[in-house]
Amino acid sequence: MKSSGNNFFKYIFILVVIGLICGAVYIIYNKNESTNEDDNIDSSNEVENKDISIVENLKMGITNYDTMNPILTKNRDIVNIDFLIFDSLFKLTSNYNLEYCLAKSINKTSDLTYEIKVDTDVKWQDGTSFISRDVAYTIEQIKNTNSIYLSNVQAIENVETPDSETVKITLNRSVPFFEYNLTFPIISSRYYSDEDFTNSNKIPIGTGMYKIASINENNILLIRNDRWKKIKTNTPKTQSITLQKYNAIGEIFNTFKLGNVDIVNTYMTNYTDYVGTMGYNKREYSGRDYDFLSFNCSDNILSDVSVRKAINYAINKDNIVSTVLGNSKVVSNSPLDYGSCFYNKENIVTYNQDLARQTLENSGWSYINNRWQKNINGYVRKITLSLVVNKSNEERVRVANNIREQLSSVGIKINVVQVDDGKYQDYLNNKNYQLILTGVSSSVNPDLTYFYGQGNISNYYNEEVLSDINSIDTISKAQSIANSEVPHIGLYRNKGTVILNSNVGGDISPNSSAIYFNFDKWYRQQ
């Protein structure tokens, strides 16, 4: 009986121990699950989910200050900052789609006429109402002052404002996706009514997130605009911005390292020489400076799409960016691959030297005596091509020589022709080259006329592409066709970098159109 009692208590003890172990395992498991859930919280919401003390002021630096007037400035940094102060009729989303801003609606009444209704509930920073006349006045000043936005309005023939909320625009020619041209800052007509606009000393006013509180010899102070249309739903976390004036970018970088500048936007590729590689954060984004290799599609040899495809297959763009350009650029395949919602990568030809050779063979080309050749209309044609490059552009000369070397490895002979500025421009204007290495600054307007439209740079013609590139509904299909026929080869585009002191946080997602995209969610913490 004594032995049975001992066994009973032994079993009870074992059950208690097992229960304790199971309970401990359950608690640890739940704790780990909770930790994992916390790790998955979007960092952009960090300020709402943690007790962070936000500093009211953010500090930036600018060089070569000219004016804060958005129509008159030529300074790229101020252009970016001005979009925090001034609104436009339309603004762009993160993927370059259009959305209404000062405009409430737009109606294309004919191929050359547009009627826009504006939001008269919007207030200028002096308390006056935004009206249609402000739009007409802005367009007038852009034209009169050779503004950086002149190309946006060059096709505008006439502007009428029949009432305070209506703007009627008449063009002198059809402009594909014209609404994208209406993304320039709007200024107040009444504010400058008694002023010589170009020589006015008045501090400009806008309708945007921030307003200019003061401008002095050393600094420009921006403060939150409490009349901003979205102030109640998108209250900026940063209450003020101090723009500090410097003589050179090196001074800004030095001040940044000392913690006296919070944010620097740069297109410099060697910024690490100034700020090092540690102790700060950065956000890189694709710029709109697009370099490409253009074919002359009316050339006897290059009219053969298989030759153009083979050349595209044979070029390793990653190699160009890494070995020639020191990773200062980003590989690019299309005029619209900077983040545009209209970009279609279907049928993009990518690097494959075996496919380069196979493409030529499948099209009847033979590799004889170290040269590709083919009988075309009774003549033996050999693939020996000239590539024109501007000799004053040392970077492009190096790229052209790299392309020549890459193509030689698949038996395609290229002669690099270096010419002076005037001759280079003649080649571009007359399109009398075989290949040319060139580039453009891509507009936010997805108009592809320059590449595929009437009189395009490549002498390329495809009737279906020509009819499809001007419509939102068909531009994707047009790109797919053009991608497969390779009238030009996209190579790379420039790269911008926003450098941030480690105490700056928020939803930081710059793009080439809006460096300070979603700036209401940016902040600096203690």
Q: Which DSSP string corresponds to 396-420?
A: HHHHHHHHHHHHHTTT-EEEEEEE-
Tell me the C-alpha to C-alpha distance, in Å, between residue 523 and each of 78, 87, 95: 20, 21, 23
Tokens 């005029």 identify what position?
335
The second-level CATH assignment, the architecture, of 86-203 is Alpha-Beta Complex (3.90)
d(C-alpha 333, C-alpha 326), whole Å: 19
Under 8 Å CB-to-CB from 19, ≥6 apart: which residues? none
**Tell me, what's the pLDDT at 43?**
36
Q: What's the confidence (pLDDT) of residue 53? A: 78
CA 173 from chain centre, in angstroms, equals 27
Q: What pairs with residue 386 in β-bridges?
A: 415
Residue 2 has pLDDT above 90, yes or no: no
pTM: 0.86
Give pLDDT, residue 42: 34
Q: Quick one: DSSP state of residue 519?
A: G
Residue 10 phi, psi dihedral angles, 5° rounding: -65, -45
* Neighbouring-strand partners of residue 504: 524
The pLDDT assigned to 55 comes to 86
CA atoms within 13 A on the CB side of 50: 15
β-bridge mates for residue 289, sequence order? 441
The answer, yes or no, to whether residue 20 has pLDDT greater than 60, is no
Q: Average pLDDT, stretch 326-337?
A: 96
Sequence spans of domains, the chain:
86-203, 286-495
Distance of CA 155 to the CA centre of its chain: 24
- Distance, in Å, from the CA atom of 343 to the CA atom of 334, rounded to the nearest integer, reads 8
Residue 413's pLDDT band, with cuts at 50, 70 and 90, is very high
> What is the spatial distance between Cα 152 and Cα 101, in angstroms, rounded to a whole number?
17
Using alpha carbons, select from 231, 211, 205, 229 the residue that is nearest to residue 121: 229
pLDDT of residue 176: 95
Q: Which residue has the higher pLDDT, 356 or 526?
A: 356
Could you tell me the two tokens for 329?
């650029």
Instruction: Phi first, then psi: give them for residue 380, nearest 5 degrees.
Output: -85, 115
pLDDT in tens, 249-275: 999 999 999 999 999 999 998 999 999
Mean pLDDT across the chain, nearest whole number? 91
Helix (H, G, I), strand (E, B) or coil at 321: helix
Residue range 501-526: mean pLDDT, rounded: 94
CATH level 2 (architecture), domain 286-495: Roll (3.10)
Q: Please state whether beta strands 90-92 and 57-63 pair in parallel, antiparallel, or not at all (unpaired).
A: unpaired
User: How many Cβ atoms are within 10 Å of 221's Cβ, its own excluded?
Assistant: 16
Strand order in the sheet with 371-376: 366-368, 371-376, 379-382
41: tokens are: 């919280």
Percentage of the chain with pLDDT > 90?
87
Residues found in the chain: 526
SS3 label, residue 132: helix
Confidence class for position 32, pLDDT limits 50, 70, 90 = very low
DSSP state of 323: I
Instruction: Kindly tell me if the per-residue pLDDT of 10 is higher than 80.
Output: no
Residue 267, CA distances (Å) to 248, 283, 286, 332 in order: 14, 12, 10, 17
